[in-house]
């Protein structure tokens, strides 16, 4: 496990509110319990439980959102989540979150996202690079000198970029609002749009106008695709040609063929799929087939808090379940760099990080 922790890794599928430390959730629940907003003893066991069905997971998210949706907390959890990923040598994190409006807290989708960005600025345990390089030449210069010094002082550095999620409960207008916000926040590190939320809720065609607009405007898109066997939707999503998809669990033969010929990279979330029973057992996980045919893949956590996992644990699970050694796991991590949504400058810097780590493997 030690080498999997120390190896550089990229995380491309992590939901902010799914990645919160249990200790933070319990602390927040205790405070709201004291204020009489919730009954702490009712929620404590829900937070502590780590084996949930897909339906229970979405109930838990509703509870988490009650605990976290104020500006100060959003800033806090963002900072903690980034620091936790950096602590296990994630060198590039694409963090996704659903911008939320909460009138009782004076929160708009924009102010929610500003609180997230505040959380990125608040990161202290590592150097963080979250602004696009081409728009911020000075930051880039600073970051490369920080990079240089980080090499000398061994201070860690993490690149973070943001994806704004559209929740499947939302309307076309609300989805469009999220895409417009993403466009306005490109200079603050927003690189794309994700479609997520309970897969049995909502219709794909509701979100299509907003997703098409995002693509036309040059935002990257990734879709939760095939978490349930909705074949019309899966085919239509593949026709849309997003830059990546998440999960790809419930595909039929025709859809596998379509996916493989499309070469769309798949964000694989092993523990999440097993815990939610989307895949009945690890030895029949589609990772194996996709890996064997060399389909673009990246291992991800999905919700490290909700599923009590970490990216290193996901690598360990893949390594032990599928018999992959050190070199193979390293190459798997390294290819993830090719599927990131950040600009080519970041990609190049990440390739260099992996190149120098590769020398130590030999
Ligand atoms: C689909 C998921 C998900 O956006 O509030 N989310 N959507 N499938 C999954 N697999 C288990 N896990 C998380 O983070 C929480 C939100 O991310 C989506 C859900 O919409 C959930 O409410 P944010 O930061």
72-127 pLDDT, tens digit each:
999 999 999 999 999 999 999 999 999 999 999 999 999 999 999 999 999 999 99
Q: How far is the CA of 18 from the centre of ligand 1 (A)?
A: 7
Residue 24: pLDDT above 90? yes
Distance between CA atoms of residues 91 and 77, nearest Å: 19
Q: How far is CA 99 from the centre of its chain?
A: 14
| pLDDT tens-digit series, residues 221-268 | 999 999 999 999 999 999 999 999 999 999 999 999 999 999 999 999
Strands 244-247 and 266-268: parallel
In this prediction the pTM is: 0.94
Hey, where are the domains in the chain?
Answer: 2-361
Give pLDDT tens digits for 164-181: 999 999 999 999 999 999
Give the ligand 1 atom nearest the CA of 303. Answer: 12
As beta bridge partners, residue 297 has: 266
Ligand 1, atom 14, residue with closest C-alpha: 17
Question: Which positions ≥6 away from 265 have C-beta within 8 Å?
Answer: 243, 244, 245, 296, 297, 298, 339
pLDDT of 141 > 70? The answer is: no
User: From residue 325, how far is each of 63, 288, 321 by CA, in Å?
Assistant: 39, 14, 11
In this prediction, residues 270-275 reach a mean pLDDT of 95
Structure tokens that stand for 104 in this block: 């009782």
pLDDT of 69 = 86
> For residue 140, what pLDDT is reported?
46
Pocket lined around ligand 1, Cβ cut-off 6 Å: 15-18, 57, 61, 97-98, 165, 167, 196-197, 224, 227, 272, 276, 302-303
pLDDT of residue 54: 83
Confidence of residue 44 (pLDDT cuts 50, 70, 90): confident
The answer, yes or no, to whether residue 37 has pLDDT greater than 70, is yes
Which is higher by pLDDT, 37 or 206?
206
- DSSP class of residue 200 equals T
pLDDT at 153: 58
- Average of per-residue pLDDT across 33-41: 90
**Ligand 1 centroid to 272 CA: how many Å?**
11
Nearest CA to ligand 1 atom 6: 197
- Is the confidence at residue 336, as pLDDT, over 80? yes
Residue 11, SS3? Answer: strand
Catalytic residue (one of 11, 114, 227, 349) = 227
For 143-168, write each residue's pLDDT tens digit: 444 444 444 557 899 999 999 999 99
**Fold category of 2-361 in CATH:** TIM Barrel (3.20.20)
pLDDT at 183: 98
* Known catalytic residue at 227: yes
């Amino acid at each position: 496990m030690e080498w999997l922790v120390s190896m550089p890794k990229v995380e491309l599928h992590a939901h902010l509110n799914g990645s919160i430390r249990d200790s933070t959730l319990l602390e927040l629940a205790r405070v709201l319990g004291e204020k009489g907003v919730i009954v702490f003893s009712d929620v404590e066991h829900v937070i502590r439980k780590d084996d949930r069905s897909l339906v229970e997971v979405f109930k838990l998210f509703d509870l988490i959102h009650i605990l976290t949706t104020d500006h100060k907390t959003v800033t806090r959890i963002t900072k903690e989540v980034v620091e936790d990923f950096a602590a296990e040598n994630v060198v590039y994190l694409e963090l996704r979150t659903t911008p939320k409006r909460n009138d009782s807290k004076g929160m708009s989708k924009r102010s929610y996202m500003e609180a997230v960005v505040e959380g990125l600025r608040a990161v202290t345990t590592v150097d963080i690079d979250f602004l696009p390089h081409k728009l911020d030449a000075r930051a880039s210069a600073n970051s490369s000198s920080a990079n240089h010094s980080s090499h000398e002082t061994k201070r860690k550095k993490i690149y973070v970029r943001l994806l704004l999620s559209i929740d499947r409960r939302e309307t076309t207008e609300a989805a469009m609002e999220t895409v417009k916000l993403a466009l306005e926040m490109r200079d603050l590190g927003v690189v794309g749009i994700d479609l997520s939320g309970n897969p049995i809720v909502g219709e794909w065609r509701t979100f299509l106008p907003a997703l098409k607009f995002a693509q036309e405007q040059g935002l990257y898109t990734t879709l939760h695709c095939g978490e349930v066997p909705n074949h019309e939707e899966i085919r239509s999503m593949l026709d849309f040609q997003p830059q990546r998809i998440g999960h790809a669990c419930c595909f039929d033969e025709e859809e596998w063929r379509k996916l493989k010929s499309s070469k769309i990279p798949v964000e694989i979330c092993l523990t999440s799929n097993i815990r939610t029973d989307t895949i009945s057992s690890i030895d029949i996980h589609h990772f194996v087939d996709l890996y064997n045919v060399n389909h673009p893949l990246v291992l991800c956590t999905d919700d490290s808090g909700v599923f009590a996992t970490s990216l290193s644990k996901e690598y360990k699970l893949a390594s032990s379940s599928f018999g992959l050694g050190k070199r193979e796991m390293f190459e798997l991590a390294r290819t993830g760099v090719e599927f990131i949504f950040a600009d080519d400058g970041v990609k190049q810097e990440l390739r260099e990080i992996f190149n120098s780590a590769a020398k130590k493997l030999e």
